[in-house]
């Protein structure tokens, strides 16, 4: 006997409710073309919650208890976390050769850099930055640095804090760096690698929704990476975030955006120094 279980359908009314809420709270645009994606990603949540209708899911999500308990899961469902080690590598080359090394060579080899990766996902961007900084430290022992990673999603932050990855993720990294910065799992069948403590000692993580008016992070930074997240936001929200990040940049600080992102035409207090790299003005 064939028993077919009907999958819940995301009707127009619930889609509008959810997409308006996601856009307002997370800044992530949810046009009609994303409806199928949202429906299929939320099916898992409905299954776990044993719900057969999206209307029940909405009632729960928008209740006081749902806002506390379900909202964090919904954030993980709707965000796109794609990232890689050394993604868009020319950014790291620019940072090393045009910012950090020139500063150190003109300041008797010493200096401190505070770096913030503001949509750090599962940590590959953070540990790439740490590898670059450790590489420079071999020439400039008096270099100090801190790297803060933040993201809206607790799930990706938890992965980033662990620093454990499938070994195929580090294929892009040269062999000498792999040896220096990664440990292989003792169980060869697992095919896992873990970043060495050396890469974690100057790194910390915190949850931060870039859409909030004020950030919990109180520091200012020399360099902020905000890559491959602005694309999800409307122009107005991008502007708001870029102004917030501006407040968190030190004088002459640098902002790195993703390769398909730009601030051209937004009339913001940054000057372009290279493609997708900006300086506070
Ligand atoms: C595509 S990943 C980019 C990761 C990394 N920056 C890179 O370029 O490889 C986008 C990240 O932005 C995060 N994100 C989405 N909306 C956010 C928001 N409102 N505040 C903070 N982070 C957000 C997602 O959780 C996701 O981890």
Residue-wise pLDDT tens digits, 30-82: 999 999 999 999 999 999 999 999 999 999 999 999 999 999 899 888 888 99
Checking if the pLDDT of 179 tops 60, the result is yes
Query: Which atom of ligand 1 is the closest one to the Cα of 28?
Result: 16
In this structure, which residue's CA is closest to atom 3 in ligand 1?
228
Rounded to the nearest angstrom, the distance between the alpha carbon of 151 and the centre of ligand 1 is 6
Residue 252 is a catalytic residue: no
Active site residue 151: yes
pLDDT of res. 186: 86
Which pLDDT belongs to residue 6? 79
Percentage with pLDDT > 90 across the chain: 87
For the CA of 26, the nearest atom of ligand 1: 19
pLDDT band at 152 (very low <50, low <70, confident <90, very high): very high
**CB of 91 sitting under 6 A from ligand 1:** no
Domains, the chain = 12-78 (1.10.155.10), 90-280 (3.40.50.150)
Report pTM: 0.91
Give 93's pLDDT tier (boundaries 50, 70, 90): very high
* Burial class of residue 35 in the structure, from the number of CB atoms within 10 Å of its CB (0-12 exposed, 13-18 middle, 19+ buried): middle
Can you tell me the distance from the alpha carbon of 169 to that of 95, in angstroms, rounded to the nearest whole number?
23
Per-residue confidence (pLDDT) for residue 48, from 0 to 100: 95
Q: How far is the CA of 229 from the centre of ligand 1 (A)?
A: 5
Q: Is the pLDDT of residue 1 over 80?
A: no
- Please pick, among 12, 13, 29, 41, the residue that the annotation labels catalytic: 41
Work out the average pLDDT over 269-280: 97
User: Is a pLDDT exceeding 80 seen at residue 5?
Assistant: no
Q: What's the rounded Cα separation, in Å, for the pair 170 and 168? A: 5
Q: Is 26 in the pocket of ligand 1 (CB under 6 A)?
A: yes
Nearest CA to ligand 1 atom 12: 119
Q: Would you say the CB of residue 152 lies under 6 angstroms from ligand 1?
A: yes
Atom of ligand 1 nearest to the CA of 27: 19
Summary mean pLDDT of the chain: 95
Sheet with 249-257, edge to edge strand ranges: 203-207, 142-151, 110-117, 221-226, 249-257, 277-280, 270-274
Q: Summarize the confidence of residues 135-156 as an average pLDDT.
A: 96
pLDDT of residue 189: 82
| pLDDT tens-digit readout, 94-132 | 999 999 999 999 999 999 999 999 999 999 999 999 999
Residue 164 CA to ligand 1 centre (angstroms): 19
The stretch 9-19 carries a mean pLDDT of: 96
> Which is the closest atom of ligand 1 to the Cα of 226?
6
Q: For position 4, what pLDDT does the model report?
A: 55
In DSSP terms, 114 is beta-bridged to 146
For the segment 207-236, the average pLDDT, to the nearest whole number, is: 94
Distance of CA 33 to the CA centre of its chain: 24
Q: Is the CB of 88 under 6 A from ligand 1?
A: no
Q: Which residue has the higher pLDDT, 1 or 275?
A: 275
Q: What is the mean pLDDT of residues 187-208?
A: 95
Instruction: Please say if the pLDDT value at position 252 is more than 90.
Output: yes
């Amino acid at each position: 006997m064939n028993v077919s279980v009907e999958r819940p359908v995301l009707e127009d009314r619930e889609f509008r409710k959810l997409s308006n809420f996601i856009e307002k709270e997370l800044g992530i645009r949810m046009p009609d073309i994303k409806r199928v994606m949202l429906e299929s990603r939320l099916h898992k949540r409905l299954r776990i919650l044993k719900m057969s209708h999206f209307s029940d899911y909405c009632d729960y999500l928008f209740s006081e208890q749902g806002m506390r308990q379900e909202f964090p899961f919904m954030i993980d469902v709707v965000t796109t976390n794609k990232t890689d080690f050394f993604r868009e590598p020319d950014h790291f080359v620019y940072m090393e050769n045009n910012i950090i090394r020139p500063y150190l060579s003109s300041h008797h080899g010493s200096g401190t850099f505070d770096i913030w990766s503001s949509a750090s996902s599962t940590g590959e961007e953070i540990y790439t930055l740490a590898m670059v900084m450790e590489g420079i430290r071999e020439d400039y022992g008096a270099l100090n640095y801190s790297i803060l990673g933040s993201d809206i999603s607790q799930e990706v932050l938890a992965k980033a804090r662990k620093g454990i990855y499938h070994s195929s993720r580090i294929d892009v990294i040269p062999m000498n760096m792999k040896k220096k910065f990664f440990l292989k799992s003792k169980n060869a069948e697992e095919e896992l690698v873990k970043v060495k403590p050396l890469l974690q000692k100057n790194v910390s993580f915190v949850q931060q929704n870039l859409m909030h008016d004020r950030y919990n992070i109180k520091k200012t930074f020399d360099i902020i990476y905000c890559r491959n997240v602005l694309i999800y936001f409307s122009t107005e929200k991008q502007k708001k975030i870029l102004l917030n990040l501006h407040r968190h940049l030190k004088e002459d600080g640098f902002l790195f955006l993703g390769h398909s992102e730009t601030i051209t035409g937004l009339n913001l207090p940054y000057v372009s120094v290279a493609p997708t790299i900006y300086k506070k003005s």
